[in-house]
Amino acid sequence: MTINDSISCFHPLHTDMPKPARFTFPFCYEPHPLCLLAAGEVQRYIAGVDKWRDELQHGKMFGVLVAEDEEGRLSFTAAFSGLLDGSNDHPYFVPPVFDATPADGYFKTNEARISAINHTIDGIEKGESYLNALHELESCKTGTAAEEEQYRLKIKEAKAARDARRLNGTPITPEEEERMLNESRFMKAELHRMKKRNKEQMAECEARLKPFQDEIRQLKAKRKAMSDSLQHWLFEQYNMLNARGERRGLCSIFADTPQHVPPAGAGDCCAPKLLQHAYLNHLHPVCMAEFWWGDSPKSEIRHHLHYYPACRGKCLPILTHMLQGLDVDPDPRQAPEQRLPEIVYEDEWLIVACKPAGMLSVKGKSDRHSAASLIAKNYAEGSEPVPVHRLDMDTSGLIILAKTPEAYKNLQEQFCQRSISKRYVALLDGMPKAPTSGRISLPLIADPLNRPYQKVDTDNGKAAVTDYKIIGQAAGRTLIELFPHTGRTHQLRVHCAHRLGLGTPIVGDSLYGHPADRLYLHAEAITFRHPATGKEMTFERTAGFRQSITQHD
């Protein structure tokens, strides 16, 4: 297919599907049927553009927004994140919030000036005069250090000879003693003179290098000032609208965030582009969804044609502003819990409880109840049990709470020593192409721009190790037991979903797979030593969904 410049980015939707009552909560949602209909059209269009095929195979996020005009007619628009085929503006998709790419524009003109400084610095650092001065200084450092070390050894050997002479039993004449003292004084003075000469020689070499270093330092300072100023100017061009018609620049939006400044690429994700275009054209947003096209990046977890929430690091502050004035779905994760944690075991030292899915282990920043706070209601103030470890809010299963400081310390030490063993059971959304049992070792680190997501990072991540055993498979799903040897955030979820792990997300994993009625991950068994008696104890609570798959023979 060739791209027709006359293509409009507005695409009518001819359907009798009912509209949602409220706009999509972009950070946790299931795509509305209207969005699925629109996304299907976008996907067919993308698949037909041959020139994009290789680039898109490496992966890109796309988004669709269904909106209605003043007469109630539905249409959809589409967007892509960042650049596509070297451009941020293609006729089928909404334009960027701000286009910084024109060669004669302010951004590119000043970017070229910054690049010119880079070329100047590079020219100095590769120039013969600079390299000769640098080599001379390094040679001087190496040579003088070796000379001084060699003379120190000579002093040490001379002292050893004098000490041996004094201990050999032969009488020492006053003249000989004076000679040895003079030798010691002379060698110490000579070392001092050597250091002074070498210091002067080093200073001469540094003086020859200093003009180059000063020029480079000044150029780098100028480059930083120009770069910071240009970045600030760029962010101020992103005047983001909301449903009330209010505008805010990115610098203002991010001023109250922990990072205080917008991250690179802010405003160029799908959701802000789609909403900005809708507001500018007086359209009322109805629903929105984002999907991934192509292969997954190495560090993150993305699946072809799967739907994903908006990123939090860049989009949460922006969308918090842009959604003002819209009636938006509530965060489904903030729904009130309907079940209480089950007390599996209790004595005077500890409690073992079974937490339902969707409940926090401990109280967070919100007013939501947690397993710990609900259990604590049965205890006097100051004597509440304290959780020794945590489960993800979406994970159900066994947790341990300590009732005394001594029990807490003992159980914490067992966790730190990794002597506590745990067994989880999960239902996977597919059939992994992997052996029926094995070990997954993928180091994990938090994604700073997209919390709470975790990503694989072999350089900076913390070790994360999981053993697994496939129990059964049926109807395109897999029942699996998981045995974590480390306790990283989202470890089991990432190890299941990542392409270097099992490549198959857990059913109901809204972060790394598809949403469902719950996350089908359950902490089924735990074994530890009792903090008071030292007796080994094992507790189990079988997952209700275990029966959905028959076991292997």
At 126-185, the pLDDT tens digits run 999 999 999 999 999 999 999 999 999 999 999 999 999 888 888 888 999 999 999 999
Q: In this predicted structure, which of 108-117, 381-390, 397-406 has the lowest mean pLDDT?
A: 381-390
What is the pLDDT, as a whole number, of residue 259? 82
CA 540 – CA 406 distance, rounded (Å): 24
DSSP assigned state of 340: P
pLDDT band at residue 366, thresholds of 50, 70 and 90? low
CA 88 – CA 98 distance, rounded (Å): 9
Long-range interactions of 373-382: CB distance < 8 A, separation 24+: 374/340, 374/341, 375/341, 375/343, 375/351, 375/401
Candidates 13, 7, 22, 21; CA nearest to 74 is 13
Once rounded to an integer, what is the mean pLDDT over residues 230-236? 93
CA 362 – CA 365 distance, rounded (Å): 10
CA 70 – CA 185 distance, rounded (Å): 99
**pLDDT tens per residue across span 409-458:** 999 999 999 999 999 999 999 999 999 999 999 999 998 878 889 999 99
Rounded to the nearest 10°, the torsion over CA 194, 197, 203, 205 is -90
Residues 6+ apart with CB under 8 A from 148: 191, 194, 195, 198
Kindly list the distances between the CA atom of residue 271 and the CA atoms of 76, 290, 324, in Å, as whole numbers in the listed order. Answer: 13, 8, 14
Once rounded to an integer, what is the mean pLDDT over residues 368-396? 82
At the topology level, CATH places domain 336-548 in: Pseudouridine synthase (3.30.2350)
Are the C-beta atoms of residues 81 and 314 closer than 8 Å to each other?
Answer: no
447 is catalytic: no
pTM above 0.75, yes or no: no
Are the C-beta atoms of residues 472 and 479 closer than 8 Å to each other?
Answer: yes
What is the pLDDT, as a whole number, of residue 221? 97
What is the pLDDT, as a whole number, of residue 338? 56
Long-range interactions of 253-262: CB distance < 8 A, separation 24+: 253/317, 253/318, 253/321, 254/317, 256/317, 257/317, 261/235, 262/235, 262/314
Q: Which of 268, 392, 394, 429 is catalytic?
A: 392
CA 549 – CA 540 distance, rounded (Å): 19
Q: Check whether 6 has a pLDDT greater than 60.
A: no
Give the 3-state secondary structure of residue 67.
Answer: strand
Are the C-beta atoms of residues 413 and 421 closer than 8 Å to each other?
Answer: no
Residue-wise burial string across 58-81, b where 16 or more C-beta atoms lie within 10 A, e elsewhere: eebbbbbbbbbeeeeebbbbbbbb
**pLDDT tens per residue across span 273-320:** 999 999 999 999 999 999 999 998 888 888 899 999 999 889 999 999
- Read off the amino acid at residue 84: L
DSSP assigned state of 548: G
Q: Check whether 390 has a pLDDT greater than 80.
A: yes
pLDDT band at residue 552, thresholds of 50, 70 and 90? very low
Are the C-beta atoms of residues 77 and 65 closer than 8 Å to each other?
Answer: yes
Give the 3-state secondary structure of residue 198.
Answer: helix
